[in-house]
Amino acid sequence: MQKRVSRGRFLKTLGAAGVAGSTLTILSCQPNTNAASSGGGGGGGPEEKELALYNWSDYVAKSTIPSFEEKTGIQVTQDFYGSNEDLLGKLQAGATGYDVIVPSDYMVTVMIKSDVIQKLDKSKIPNTKNVGEDYTGLSYDPNNEYSLPYQWGTTGILYNKKETGELDGTWDPMWDPQFEGQIAMLADSRETLGAALYKLGYSVNTKDDGELAEAEAALKDQQPLLRGYFISTEVRPLVQNGDILLGHVYSGDAFLALAGNKDLDYIIPQPQASRWTDNMCIPNGAAHPDNAHKFINHILGADTGAKLSNYTYYNTPNQAALPKIDPALKDLPGYTLTPEIFERLEVIEDVGAKTREYERIFTEVRSA
């Protein structure tokens, strides 16, 4: 799963994805050397004034890191990854050079199970109190022992309202032959199988072979109608430029498009749609765990949190930051959610051994 806003981060992330595909890189996963060489060990003694942040690209506001450095005197180095799996691969290969990482929901579960992240010490993160209760205690880390939320968003349909008229609020238009060649789905097995499962009234986390087979059939019906499968940041310009009418996107990309174009609209379809969360975690063996806690606390501050979301265009889990969110952003369709909409959002969970079946189905659908 790839959650990112754009602003020209497209090539950067694709580059990261490209590198991830080369086996050489995977097999020689080295810890970030400049971060690792400065490691002083998590044990006793004061830490050096350093912090290594490993994050999605373009996922901090301009002021996020400078304000932390100013306040604490801790120098931050930032590295980037292109997918949750790249991040996991590096940690599993023993990359201990990082202090804070930002995995998505389902990946937090995987990381807990493969023992690559450590428990947080909440006493060092007083701003935990700012996190809204809707964003804590989620299934991927039920007691938030290992993670605190960074940003969250939804996955829905960005469409050209001027051309299509108002949609009916379901997933059906993504299967409507009248829009043949004008639809794009996400190149993400869980999200795109998810859309089919939602349409059929099933859970996005199903492990039932019968339900998955129905979803596969639905996606095979849909495939000929599509322009293709893309990452969210590619879908946005396709809709903006009028290349396609309907695009399956992450909310941040939708909001970036809506902010400049009144002809477009974003819906979170019925009966269900996905809601995802990126989270802050500390890897095992982090050299600067105290600094890491300070950084997490910084992000959960009211001012930092608001500036972050005003930049990324994603939603904040930070209740204290909410009043400072740009009103123009808050008013965009699908940004501020009513409890009814929020209720029907489902969190994508890791499906364990079924992951491969999801991938196989998605490969089969795409090559149909």
Partner 1 sequence: MGGKGRGWTFRLVGLLTPVTIWLGLFFLVPLLLILAYSFGTSNIYGGITLGFNPGNYLRVFDPLYLEIIVRTFVIAALTTLLCFALGYPLAYFIVFKGRRWRNALILLVMVPFWTSLLIRAYSWVVILSGNGIANKTLQFLGITDEPVTLIFTSQAVLMGMVYSYLPFMILPLYASLEKFDTRLKEAAKDLGASRWHAFWRVTFPLSMPGVIAGSILVFIPSAGEFVIPQLLGGSRTVMTGSLIQNQFGSARDWAFGSALSVMLAALLLAAILFYVRRVGADKLEGV
In this chain, which stretch among 14-22, 37-45, 193-201, 301-309 interacts with partner 1, using CB under 8 A?
14-22
Residue 324 tokens read as: 């400072």
**Within positions 327 to 356, which residues make up the interface with partner 1, using CB under 8 A?**
352-353, 355-356
92 binds partner 1 (CB under 8 A): yes
290 binds partner 1 (CB under 8 A): no
Number of helices (H) and strands (E), helices first, in the chain?
Answer: 16, 12
Instruction: Choose between 48 and 243: whose C-beta lies nearer to partner 1.
Output: 243
Q: If you count them, how many residues does the chain have?
A: 368
Among 35, 100, 117, 184, binds partner 1 (CB under 8 A): 184
- Distance of alpha carbon 57 from alpha carbon 81, whole angstroms: 7
- Tell me the per-residue interface mask from 206 to 245 with partner 1, x by CB under 8 A, - otherwise: -----------------x--xxxxx-------x--xxx--
Among 50, 58, 99, 188, binds partner 1 (CB under 8 A): 188
Query: Smallest distance from the beta carbon of 151 to partner 1, in angstroms?
Result: 21
Among 8, 27, 178, 260, binds partner 1 (CB under 8 A): 27
Q: Where are the alpha helices (DSSP H) in the chain?
A: 10-21, 23-27, 33-36, 64-72, 84-92, 105-113, 161-164, 189-200, 209-222, 232-240, 251-259, 289-299, 302-312, 327-330, 339-343, 355-366
Among 14, 29, 302, 347, binds partner 1 (CB under 8 A): 14
- Distance of alpha carbon 52 from alpha carbon 75, whole angstroms: 9
Using alpha carbons, select from 162, 303, 177, 148 the residue that is nearest to residue 240: 162
- Distance of alpha carbon 271 from alpha carbon 345, whole angstroms: 9
Query: Smallest distance from the beta carbon of 163 to partner 1, in angstroms?
Result: 13
In this chain, which stretch among 58-66, 87-95, 200-208, 310-318 interacts with partner 1, using CB under 8 A?
87-95
Element (H, E) at 345: strand 345-347
The count of chain residues that interact with partner 1, using the rule CB under 8 A, is: 49
Chain centroid offset of residue 250 CA: 8
In this chain, which stretch among 82-90, 119-127, 198-206, 293-301 interacts with partner 1, using CB under 8 A?
82-90
Using alpha carbons, select from 120, 128, 87 the residue that is nearest to residue 320: 128
178 binds partner 1 (CB under 8 A): no
Query: Smallest distance from the beta carbon of 332 to partner 1, in angstroms?
Result: 25
Among 47, 58, 86, 346, binds partner 1 (CB under 8 A): 86
Distance between terminal CA atoms of the chain?
22
**Within positions 28 to 57, which residues make up the interface with partner 1, using CB under 8 A?**
28
Instruction: Choose between 16 and 65: whose C-beta lies nearer to partner 1.
Output: 16
Q: Would you say the C-alpha torsion 26, 204, 254, 103 has a positive or negative sign?
A: negative
Backbone phi, psi, residue 114, to 5°? -95, 10
Q: Please, are residues 284 and 368 in contact by the beta-carbon 8 Å criterion?
A: no
Query: Smallest distance from the beta carbon of 277 to partner 1, in angstroms?
Result: 18
Instruction: Choose between 94 and 201: whose C-beta lies nearer to partner 1.
Output: 94
Among 122, 124, 220, 366, binds partner 1 (CB under 8 A): 366
Strands (E), 41-180: 50-56, 75-81, 100-101, 117-118, 148-160
In this chain, which stretch among 7-15, 72-80, 246-254, 317-325 interacts with partner 1, using CB under 8 A?
7-15
Instruction: Choose between 56 and 135: whose C-beta lies nearer to partner 1.
Output: 56
Q: Please, are residues 334 and 249 in contact by the beta-carbon 8 Å criterion?
A: no
Contact set with partner 1 (CB under 8 A): 1, 10-11, 14-15, 17-18, 20-21, 23-24, 26-28, 83, 85-86, 88-89, 92, 110, 113-114, 181, 184, 187-190, 223, 226-230, 238, 241-243, 352-353, 355-356, 359-360, 363-364, 366-367
